[in-house]
Structure 1
């Protein structure tokens, strides 16, 4: 009986706390001026046809948020990148994003999976706070399973401590 009551109470609390979108006091401030992000609309279903996402001169072509060792705090230098992707998601509500949390090889498998999830979740939460919708974003942990670099050096470890943002058609 206890196993059924707790989830029911939790769902009631979450339903009571959910936003209906009609609260004007909690709207996200528009910081689009001067950020270098243009309004883009999805032309096809593949996501790869959206020019801004693949244009190397556009901030949206950068898809990784890097983290310090044993940390899941978004660095100040990554905030403009997260803000640009949030604006893109707000302007393109049909787009979906998958955030993959990654770690370096140090630490146990369980620890790395948990840390990777925290990294993916913190990027997701930042995007949601900036106006993206919950239905647009999914976060998963890959732990140490998808390294960008295989050398046993600090520079290589730093490349592997990241959250990768992938759009529809890329995952």
Structure 2
């Protein structure tokens, strides 16, 4: 069960743009799932279209999140505005060989279950992908210096080896 379910039936797609807005409980649950501090706003405006082989959902995702700085742990307010392009398809009924190579386009397709698909879970995953796991705040450099991580040569993978080098 998803924290933000929005089920649609392929046979009864709504006309026009659909506004999907996460309620406070959904935002709180998604923040826990994504290991961020909070989600103040999460909205998606999408248009659904069925071309006979797939249902496409295209539009824009907008979110305001607070996430921890990757270095200092301080709270960072981040605004996210991203295009959304999803493709829902019937389950793949190919030969099923483990050695079979998949078409690159198939990697971004989401399977429809009994002519129904969960657009809410799909856009929640889009938000997860839009959150920068390495975002840093204004105190990141200060925290790096305090920890002795001044630059790549002083803290990189070869720093330990350099410390073992014997002077000539």
Question: What TM-score, normalized by structure 1, do the two folds share?
Answer: 0.31
Using CA pairs under 8 Å that are at least 6 residues apart, name the structure with larger relative contact order, 1 or 2: 1
**Structure whose residues are more often strand by fraction:** 2
> Greater Rg, structure 1 or structure 2?
2
Question: What TM-score, normalized by structure 2, do the two folds share?
Answer: 0.32
